[in-house]
A and B are shown apart, each in its own frame.
Chain A
Amino acid sequence: MDRFDTALVLTRVLTSGVVMSIEKNDRELPGLERQLGKLSGRSAVVLTNSVTAAVHSALAGIGAGHGDVITAPPVPDDIRAFLAWLGVRTREDGEPGFTFVAVDPADLASLPDVLAGLPADRPVVLDLTGLGFGPAGAVLTDDSRVQAKAERLKIFGTFDLRTMWTQVESEPELVPGVQFNYRLSPLVAACLRMSLSSRPAPQPAGEPA
């Protein structure tokens, strides 16, 4: 990663004065959502402050909670431990309830192809921590219901960061039981945007990357 780009991006956001995720003038989180949507071809993106938060949000999105059984995709051991902590049991057979993709700088060029090749009928959990700006994750989905439920987990049941203090509940059935603050920092989001937009062009097949 070119450190100058990071410096420029962080200075830009600090100069704007908007570093709070629940600030209605924040442009970084919506910008990253749009970018990941475009990159993946999915219509909805839920940003989170870690990969485990993204896993939890995806499960909330598909309606899997304590006591439920799901088929988990291949995931690292700590994610498996996290599923057990949530009280979600896993089995090996059947179609996984979500797809799991960890992104490292070396994977950026091929990321659109990887995402395009995933089953469209289930959410994707994206681990963005490897890009180097601290814990970060995202849930990608085409299902607005999955998005709505996943989004609500991350900010104490509310459906929109920018109106969290004032909104009046319109869909009480979507309010999760346990609720967290899984909000991503706009400063981290800005760096992720830079990282994703400066990804190298994919190498033609047959040539070494």
Chain B
Amino acid sequence: MITDFPQFPLALPDEKDVLAELAAFDGTPVIPKDRRRTVFPVITKEDVFAMLLSAKTRPEKVVADFTEAYRDYVGAGYALPAASGTASLHLALAGVGVGPGDEVIVPAFTFIATAQAVVAAGAIPVFADIDPVTYCLSPEAAAAAVTERTKAIMPVHVHGLPADVAALRAVADRHGVAFVEDASHAHSAKVGDRVCGSFGDAAGQSLMADKNFPLGGEGGIAFFATEEARDRAADYLRRNGIDYGMSWIAASFGSSQLKRLPYYDAIRARNAAVLDDQLRETGLFSPPVVPEGSTHAYNMYRIGLHPEAVGLGDLPVHAVKEAVHELLVAEGVPAREWQNTPIPCHLPFRRRQGFGGGWPFTLNPAAARDHEPEDFPVVTGMLARTLVLCRELRSPVEYERLARYGQAFAKIARRPDAIRKVIGDRTFPLPWDKAARLG
């Protein structure tokens, strides 16, 4: 039987090991090689039984029941199931009436799907810089990007932390444009008591199996504030023959997972709180900042680096980041960059071929601008001095593993000499001068 059940338990770390030699210098890794796998999503007997029942149910009903249950959980007015997050964003934009040649303001830091969904809708993504604290679309930058052809502002609740919804909504209202959420990282994320996906005139959300709320493989959902917007999106699909349908297999898995989502959310919040405290003690590292009143969903956990706090202020911060990255990976903590280049500098937005022959960019040449990374100083500043934990913190990670993450960060922060040695006389290109990666 092929199973993902863990082969070995992980023991709590020995406190004195924080003083041990770093794994990169032939010390013992904090997390042994054969215990690094993190199980996600967690699949239980309830998921299996629900799937078997679904196989005996009309497929349309399985998908409709899931859609209604999750719409109710989010508190959105109306919903349409979709095959992917990208499809759901496309539907959200179609629902608020975004069409060929329109401009949609999106953050320069997100997953490329945010901007590609705008192109799918025949519109042109106009990129704006982010807020230095939340890493989400800056309301000031968004306001500055509005033109007469702007049809919508689409912030992303990046990593699961809500964007500044009130300020962005105010910008949209002031200019009479739609407010659309990309809630693909933000399952159960909240501002006050309201869940992300329920704020916008419409919202799109990925439900692929690597998200905090996973469906059976691939999926997405679009939310709408009005029945009219939902119907406009549904009609758009019919009229254009587009099949964005969700499989009943994906939906069934979502229905059973939804019942356990609050439990997993609570574990993620607990894990993040524990790691927050561990990082604060290191000096070199800082946890994500969560504004008062916001609930972070922690689909990803972005860690700040502060070389100056450990006497490394004379070194380029991105070089320190790369050295620390190498040291962390050697200890068995698979940290990642998650994005190394602002989205407008990725190939599809440099070349702007779109669907072919430059469409839809050719419809609105003024909006189709050439960009350099330096146009987005807050994005590049963040890329230079942060690292990300993804799946490593997403699943209901055991306390023992969490304690070991903390030990790995503490171990490295105590060794500025080792970081300096790793850097040596190597040259480190800036992250965005390397080839753009998806993640």
Is A84 engaged at the interface, CB distance under 8 Å to the other chain? Answer: yes
B241: interface (CB < 8 Å): yes
Are B217's CB and A21's CB within 8 A? Answer: yes
Q: Does B319 contact A (CB under 8 A)?
A: no
Stretch at the interface among B66-74, B301-309, B431-439: B431-439
Contacts of A181 in B (CB 8 A): 83-87, 113, 208, 218
- Summarize A's interface: helix, strand, loop or mixed: loop
B3 at interface, CB cutoff 8 A: yes
Q: A11-B52, A16-B3, A52-B241 are in contact. Are A156 and B247 (CB under 8 A)?
A: no
Complex interface: chain B residues within 8 A of A135 (CB)? 83, 243, 245, 247
Is the Cβ of A68 less than 8 Å from the Cβ of B356?
yes
Q: Which of A101-109, A115-123, A171-179 contacts B (4 or more CB under 8 A)?
A: A171-179
Q: Is the CB of B437 within 8 A of A10?
A: no
Interface of B is mostly: loop
Indicate if A114 sits at the interface (CB-CB under 8 A): no
Provide the B204-220 mask, 1 if CB < 8 A to any CB of A, else 0.
00001110001011100
Q: Is B144 an interface residue (CB 8 A)?
A: no
Which stretch from A33-41, A138-146, A185-193, A198-206 is at the chain B interface? A185-193
Complex: how many Å from CA A147 to CA B359?
24
Question: What residues of chain A lie closer than 8 Å to B347, measured between beta carbons?
Answer: 157, 169, 172, 175
A188 contacts which of B5, B119, B217, B352 (Cβ < 8 Å)?
B217
Interface: B249 (CB within 8 A) = yes
Of residues 252 through 279 on chain B, the ones whose CB sits less than 8 Å from some CB of chain A are: 253
A15 in contact with B3 given A87-B355, A164-B439, A181-B113 (CB within 8 Å): yes
Of the residues B1, B241, B354, B436, contact of A79 by C-beta under 8 Å: B241
Which of A66, A79, A86, A167 gathers the greatest number of chain B CB atoms within 10 Å? A66
Residues of B within 8 A of A157 (CB): 347-348, 438
Nearest B residue to A158, CB-CB: B438
Q: A67-B359, A134-B59, A134-B249 are in contact. Are A49 and B51 (CB under 8 A)?
A: no
Supposing A52-B243, A87-B356 touch, asked if A156 and B116 sit within 8 A by C-beta, the answer is yes
Shortest B92–chain A CB gap in Å is 15
Closest Cβ of chain A: how far from B134's Cβ, in Å?
23
A178 touching B120 by the CB < 8 A rule? yes
Q: Judge whether A177 and B352 touch: CB under 8 Å.
A: yes
User: Is A6's beta carbon under 8 Å from chain B?
Assistant: yes
Asked if A209 is at the interface of the complex by the 8 Å CB criterion, the answer is: no
- Is B242 in the interface zone, CB < 8 Å from A? yes
Closest to B249 in A: A187
Interface mask (B93-131 → A, CB under 8 Å = 1, otherwise 0): 000000000000000000011001001100000000000
B112 proximity list for chain A (CB < 8 A): 156, 179
Question: Are A133 and B249 within 8 A (Cβ)?
Answer: yes
> Which residues of A are found within 8 Å of B293, using beta-carbon distances?
none
* Contact pick for B83, options A3, A49, A165, CB 8 Å: A49
> How far in angstroms is the closest Cβ of chain B from A112?
25
Q: Is A196 an interface residue (CB 8 A)?
A: no
**Smallest distance from the beta carbon of B258 to chain A beta carbons, Å?**
16
Partner of B113, one of A66, A156, A167, A184: A156
Point out the residues of chain B lying under 8 angstroms from A184, CB to CB: 217-218
Q: In whole angstroms, how far apart are the Cα atoms of A7 and B55 in the complex? A: 7
Nearest CB on B from A56, distance (A) = 9
Q: In the complex, A157 Cα to B242 Cα: how many Å? A: 20
B389: interface (CB < 8 Å): no
Out of B52, B120, B217, B356, name the residue touching A19 (CB < 8 Å): B217
Candidates B250, B353, B356, B434; contact of A187 at CB < 8 Å: B250
Instruction: Determine how close the nearest CB of chain B comes to the CB of A105; give it in whole angstroms.
Output: 14
**A1-19, CB < 8 A from B:** 3, 6-7, 10-12, 14-19
- Size category, B interface: 35 or more
- Measured in the bound complex, the distance between the Cα atoms of B208 and A95 in whole Å is 39
Does B20 count as interface, using CB distance less than 8 angstroms?
Answer: no
A178 to chain B, nearest CB (A): 5
CB-contact partner of A180 in B56, B120, B216, B240, under 8 A = B120
Interface residues of B in 382-439 (CB under 8 A from A): 434-439
Whether B348 and A165, one on each chain, are in contact in the complex, defined by CB atoms closer than 8 angstroms, is no
Binds A, one of B27-35, B40-48, B191-199: B40-48
Q: Which residue of B47, B240, B336 contacts A81 across the interface (Cβ within 8 Å)? A: B240
Whether A179 contacts B116 in the complex (CB less than 8 A), given A10-B52, A134-B247, comes out as: yes
Residues of B close to A84: CB separation below 8 A: 240
List, in ascending order, chain B residues with CB within 8 A of A21's CB. Answer: 208-209, 217-218
* Residues of chain A from 70 to 89 with CB closer than 8 A to chain B in the complex: 77-87
Given the interface pairs A181-B218, A187-B249, the reply to whether A7 lies near B116 with Cβ below 8 Å is no
Interface residue B366 (Cβ < 8 Å from any Cβ of A): no
Q: Write the nearest CB–CB distance from A148 to chain B, whole angstroms.
A: 16
B438 touches A188 (CB 8 A): no
Closest to B120 in A: A178
CA distance A156 to B244 in the complex (A): 17
Q: Using Cβ atoms and an 8 Å threshold, which residues of chain A touch B208?
A: 20-21, 181
Q: Does A22 contact B (CB under 8 A)?
A: yes
B356 adjacent to A133 (CB under 8 Å): no
A177 lies within 8 A of B356 (CB): yes
- Cβ-based interface call for B357 (8 A): yes
Residue A51, interface by CB 8 Å: yes
The 4 closest A-B pairs by CB, nearest first: A65-B356, A185-B217, A134-B247, A17-B4
Can you name 19 extra interface pairs (CB under 8 A) apart from A16-B4, A52-B243, A178-B120?
A3-B55, A11-B48, A14-B51, A15-B3, A16-B3, A17-B3, A17-B43, A66-B355, A85-B240, A134-B246, A166-B437, A172-B347, A176-B353, A181-B87, A181-B113, A185-B249, A187-B216, A187-B217, A191-B249
Sampled A-B contacts (26; CB under 8 Å):
A11-B52, A15-B2, A19-B217, A20-B210, A49-B247, A52-B242, A64-B356, A81-B241, A82-B241, A82-B242, A87-B355, A133-B248, A134-B250, A135-B247, A157-B348, A164-B438, A176-B353, A178-B119, A180-B86, A180-B87, A181-B87, A181-B113, A181-B218, A184-B217, A185-B217, A188-B247
